[in-house]
Structure 1
Amino acid sequence: MNQKRSSLPNDVQSCHDMIHQLGETVGEQQREVEQLKHFIERLLRQRFGARSEKIAPNQMSLFDEPEAAEEVAEPEDDEPPPTAVSAHRRRGGGRNKLPDHLPRERVEHDLTESEKRCPCCDQTRQRIGEISHEQLEFIPASLKVIEHVRFKYACRECEEHVVLAAAPARPIAKGFAGPGLLSTILVGKYSDHLPLYRHESILSRNGVQLSRSTMSRWVLETAELLQPLTDLMKSRVLQSHVMHTDDTTIPVQDQRLSRTRTGRFWVYCGDAGHPYSVYDFTPNRERAGPQAFLKHFRGYLQADAYAGYEELYRSGRIQQVLCWAHARRKFYDARTVQPEAAHRALLFIQQLYAIEREASDLQQPADCERWWQHRRQLRQDKALPVLEQFRDWLTETSRVLLPKSPVAVAMQYLLSRWSGFTRYCTEGILSIDNNLAERTLRPCAIGRKNYLFVGSDRGGEAAAVHYSLMASCKANEVEPFAYLRDVLSRITDHAADRLEELLPDQWLKQHPESHRPRRR
């Protein structure tokens, strides 16, 4: 501060006033510097850092109270009680057995006649056994042209009354793409995240030139064909007792603008009785999108704290269940700015997740109702006391922190929505977090990095249809290529009142060979 001595006050009171003002200015600048450092650190971690939010155990131990040599101090009221966590069992190494359903080809390696001669008596040695090993080989996909020939018949006497055999149904009217080719393109883009220009290159290596504009048209037309199936899945998801939802951005081309605009993909995951995941595309993040989708839903909605859901909660037919993973992330991001308070909060949340792991160890998929009752009771007995201690600590600690500090903001986020964060303890079917919806949205985020944008709102709606089918196949452990190839070959002539037969879980009952368990 460049200020001449002559301009400084001479009396003591004026000096004290100036010192007080300077102290407030410095304090305000320090708070601003801390906020900017926190903001920069979050940006750097988002751009270059690891996605994992794990914390080393020795970091947590830095905030443990030292124990005296003579006696052990009693834990304070605001500290979470210790919870035993089951040890992690690492999976053993070794080579996995090759699947039995793969075709086998036997290749025999024998000795020549001269090698069969015994070096001692020159007699021919007899075969006494064999040793074999298996080798996994890859056969590249191939294309073929299927020529559909329809015979015509006419009466030789009358020389009229010509009849022609009926043409087989095609997924795309007047199109030459078969169900297998369409399924390859759809699975490649929406499950394996391959943009259409890569499909164009792959097909050209097989001697077939298909432009990406042609494949884009196929994607749109198959989406229209499959739309009734995703509408049926939507109606089933809306019957769920519990629904998970989340959203992510997607750039959208707009001919009226010189740049892309931001659209949204929303995912809605049904419960165990309605095992489907349905995507919805909206041109923006306005509340009208989720409100229209959830218009007839009644039950628990596991989501983030998006303000657009508030009107749905006020109606009383939807109960809010918030995500502890979101709350934890806010304290995790603040751990370098205010480490002691942030790590103390992380310890409380760690206790809650340890209780969830204890409940998961007793899970029996064949008896979900009984397990949900057990998990609810476990939460009532163990999680609620931890939550009460956590809330008391949050209330007391937030009084001594600066209101705009990162930890104080995280605390206020929790305290202002406390009923939504604790509602998971009221029902065993509810989850502690919304990670299911976040995992289901992950293919959109990965695909977005590869194909960069959707060409229009219609393209976004088509992508939502295909992502819904891919996510529902994954949820039901169905091989998506076999499913789509069969559905595309049948849905054109399939009766509307029997559309349920083409849902992934129902289709799997008729095609158990297409069951593909997920890797654990």
Structure 2
Amino acid sequence: MIRRMTDTALSEENASLKARLAETEAALEEAVEAQRRLESIVGELQREKFAARSEKLDPEQFNLPLEDVELAQGVLEAAQERARRALKGDGATGPRAPARNRGHLPKHLPRIERVIAPESTLCPCGCGEMTRIGEDTSERLDIVPAQFRVLVTRRPRYACRRCSGAVVQAYAPEHVVPGGLPTEALIAQVIVSKFGDHLPFYRQAEIYARQGLALDRATLGSWVGRACFHLRPIVAQMRENLKAADRVFMDETRAPVLSPGRKRTKTGYFWSVVADDRGHGGTGPPVVMVHYAPGRGAAHALRFLEGYRGRFVQCDGYSAYDKLTAVERPEGAWQLVHCWTHVRRRFVKRLETDGSPIAEQILHRIADLYAVEKAVRGQPPATRLAARREHAAPIIAALRPWLEAQLSRIPRSSKLAEDIRYTLGLWPGLIRFLEDGQLELDTNPVENQIRRIALTRKNALFAGHEVGAENWAMLASLIATCKMSDVNPVDYIAQTLRSLLDGHPKSRIEALMPWQFRDPSSLAA
């Protein structure tokens, strides 16, 4: 009886332990699944914040981790070369590698020649002076560190010795900073260093201090602010040129602005509008206009596009742009052209996160569309349109039913289903490039400009106030347009400021546009 009671107790305890074990295993499985979901979310957030923004596999990117290896290789080659010279003797003359740099350095760079002659040109045999029979020439790239100089202006006065009434003197030229230190060239350098090369004023002040110049960032900011006042007519005329474009690209990015009295920033936005006809061989000037707005609503997009006479806006799938299509205009409502790069980016994320074969197939089909575009880039619109209708249209015709079929086979709550629904929701705008050869597949022209603003934002952290953000937008517009026109922005801003100060007539302001600038020393930045 005791044995039976013991067996029964053990059996009951065993059953209880098994039940508890089953509950623990179920809870553990749920915890593991939750951990997987969290790891997936964290992985996406890390890629969103830290990974490369472009999904293009640029071969140059793979060389970046090898730079240290190449540096070590250079040390090794220098040591080997010194060892060979030591074995042969310092004066040994043997066959040398050809001077491959000869003739490859830019022609506009000044040449400083030096002649290295033998210590004696007398014949060792006592025959007398030797005759020059040729020479070896090599070119090496040298640099003169940035050097300040003082520009002294003298205005002599003249008087007549026969009478005391006539005294003549040339008028003093007007300057951006009356009676101040900087020339127009120095102010242009400060502007481009911050808004083109992403160097905040305090870093520039540290660079100037190494030259013995005490220029604090407040002084630099004041100089740039005065230049903004004079450059406003230029940017206003650029916007008038942009209004004539038949198609514009549009995008927006955050603009942190310091909130007065709160010791923290508030979020504004930089809206970029770009006209770039180079993709279809157009002759219109490339123009970038950046605007600051305190928000991201559709009202700001409508305000910045007021007066534009074009028909198309190329943009991403942000819902605020949808309201543009309801605006009544003499030219007709805006037509939205959506971006295949944004669609592709979603499926790249699905492939990286989930290894989805469906996402991989979609990426292959989008790649086929871009292969067609690559073959006709820069061609006239009619040629581009004919190629698209012959090669891209069949891909598009097969893609939509295929996407709909895949959508019916996967869970509705999955991320992949969400991405497919996003793509199908933008379908009219995604296929509009099949109707006009001037349109592009993506919004890359404006995204490239937004990226530069983001780099300046990363280094400058925030704008001091909204007026500062507006000036930031204005100067970013000017520098970006210079770069798209292959114009050195430092030369352009310096000479344009000088022309405006010298009284360039407002009626001929078009002659001062960046795409009209023709300076022989100017090169693409």
Task: Establish whether TM, by shorter chain, passes 0.5.
Answer: yes
Deviations, residues 118-175 of structure 1 (Å, cap 9, x unaligned) = 4445544322111110121111222223333445567889866876532202123443
User: Is 1:42 matched up with 2:49?
Assistant: no
Q: Is the 8 A contact 1:237 1:271 kept in 2?
A: no
Query: For residue 88 of structure 2, what is the aligned residue in structure 1?
Result: none
| Residue in structure 1 matched with residue 403 of structure 2 by the alignment | 394
**In the alignment, which residue of structure 2 is the partner of 1:18?**
none
1:353 corresponds to:
370
- Deviation of 1:242 (Å): 1.0
* 1:101 corresponds to 2:108: yes
1:463 aligns with one of 469, 472, 484: 472
Q: One-letter code of the match for 1:334?
A: R
Go from structure 1 to structure 2 and tell me whether the alpha carbon gap of 1:152 and 1:358 turns closer, same or farther (over 3 Å shift).
Answer: closer
Inter-partner Cα distance in structure 2 for 1:431 and 1:314: 23
- Whole-angstrom CA distance in 1 between matches of 2:230 and 2:34: 55
- The amino acid of 1:429's aligned partner reads Q
Matched, 1:447 2:456: yes
With normalisation by structure 2, the TM-score equals: 0.79
Measure how far apart 1:388 and its partner are.
1.4
In the alignment, the residues of structure 2 paired with residue 337 and residue 290 of structure 1 have an alpha-carbon distance, to the nearest angstrom, of 36
Equivalent pair of 1:262/1:284 in contact (CA under 8 Å): yes
Residue 260 of structure 1 aligns to a residue whose secondary structure is strand
Most deviating of 265-274 and 227-236: 265-274
2:508 is aligned with 1:498: yes
| DSSP 3-state at the match of 2:517 | helix
Q: Which has the higher helix share?
A: 2
CA–CA separation in structure 1 for the residues paired with 2:231 and 2:416: 48
Q: Distance in 2 between matches of 1:443 and 1:466?
A: 12
- CA drift of 1:104 comes to 1.1
1:55–1:162 distance in 2 versus 1, CA, 3 Å: closer
User: Is the CA contact (8 Å cut-off) linking 2:176 and 2:223 kept in structure 1?
Assistant: no
What's the secondary structure of 1:110's corresponding residue?
coil
* Distance (whole Å) between structure 2 residues aligned to residue 257 and residue 134 of structure 1: 58
Q: Distance in 2 between matches of 1:337 and 1:404?
A: 15
Q: Map of 1:233-272 to 2, 5 A cutoff? A: 233-272=238-277
Aligned pair 1:290/2:301, yes or no? yes
Query: How many positions carry a matched residue from both structures?
Result: 449
CA deviation vs aligned residue, 1:265-322 (integer Å, no higher than 9, x gap): 1211113313211111112222222210102223111111122222211224211000
In structure 2, give the amino acid aligned to 1:193: H
Moved more, 150-159 or 307-316: 150-159
Say which SS state the counterpart of residue 462 (structure 1) adopts.
Answer: helix
1:2-401 equivalent positions in 2, closer than 5 A: 36-54=38-56, 95=101, 97-113=104-120, 116-120=121-125, 123-151=128-156, 165-272=170-277, 273-297=284-308, 298-315=310-327, 316-335=332-351, 336-337=353-354, 339-360=356-377, 363=378, 371-401=380-410
Q: Is contact 1:338–1:407 with CA below 8 Å preserved after alignment?
A: no
* SS at 2:254 equivalent: strand
AA partner of residue 449 (structure 1): K
Identity of aligned residues (%): 33
- Point out the more displaced range, 311-320 or 47-56: 47-56
Residue 373 of structure 2 aligns with an amino acid whose one-letter code is E
Alignment partner of 1:126: what SS?
A: coil
What is the alpha-carbon root mean square deviation over aligned residues? Answer: 2.9
Kept after mapping to 1: 8 A contact 2:258/2:266:
yes
SS at match of 1:247: strand
Partners in 2 of 1:313 and 1:463 — Cα distance?
Answer: 30
Report SS of the residue matched to 1:169.
coil
Residue 372 of structure 1: CA displacement? 1.5
Change (3 A) 1:144 1:118: closer
Aligned in 2, Cα 1:380/1:108: closer, same or farther, shift over 3 Å? same
Per-residue CA deviations over 1:452-480 (Å, capped at 9, x if unaligned) read 11111111111111111111111110111
Give the TM-score normalised by structure 1: 0.80
Q: 2:441 aligns with which of 417, 432, 449?
A: 432
135-144 or 324-333, larger mean C-alpha shift: 135-144
Counterpart of 1:47, as a letter, is: K
TM-fit CA distance, 1:189: 0.9
Q: Which structure is larger by alpha-carbon Rg, 1 or 2?
A: 2
CA distance in 1, matches of 2:197, 2:231: 20
| In 2, Cα distance between equivalents of 1:34 and 1:395 | 29
Render the CA deviation track for 1:356-399: whole Å, top value 9, x for unaligned: 12223xx4xxxx5xx21111011111111111111001111112
8 Å CA contact retained: 2:292, 2:470: yes
Match among 425, 431, 440 for residue 422 of structure 1: 431
- Preserved contact between residue 196 and residue 215 of structure 1 (Cα < 8 Å): yes
- The runs of 5 or more residues in structure 1 that have no matched partner are 7-22, 57-93
The equivalent residue for 1:76 is none
Q: What SS does structure 2 have at the residue aligned with 1:269?
A: strand
The Cα shift of 1:105 comes to: 1.5
Partner amino acid for 1:504? P
> Letter of the aligned partner of 1:464 in structure 2?
A
After TM superposition, give the deviation of residue 38 of structure 1 in Å: 4.0
Query: Which secondary structure does the structure 2 equivalent of 1:172 belong to?
Result: coil
3-state DSSP class of the match of 2:472?
Answer: helix
2:174 is matched by which residue type in structure 1? A
Contact kept in structure 2, 1:239 and 1:274, CA below 8 Å: no
Counterpart position of 1:514: 522
Q: Does structure 2 conserve the Cα–Cα contact (< 8 Å) formed by 1:300 and 1:318?
A: yes
* 1:332 aligned partner, one-letter code: V
Distance 2:32 2:376 in 1: 45
CA contact (8 A) 1:320 1:420 kept: yes
Q: RCO (CA 8 Å, sep 6+): is it higher in 1 or 2?
A: 1
Distance 1:308 1:28, change over 3 A: farther
CA distance in 1 between counterparts of 2:493 and 2:247 reads 28
User: Which stretches in structure 2 are left out of the alignment for 5+ residues?
Assistant: 1-14, 17-25, 59-99, 278-283
Deviations 1:228-259 (A, max 9, x none): 11111111111101111111112111113231
Q: Does the 8 Å contact 2:276/2:445 carry over to 1?
A: no
CA contact (8 A) 2:298 2:323 kept: no
Change (3 A) 1:164 1:104: closer
CA distances 1:423-453 after superposition (whole Å, capped 9, x unpaired): 0111111111111111112211111221211
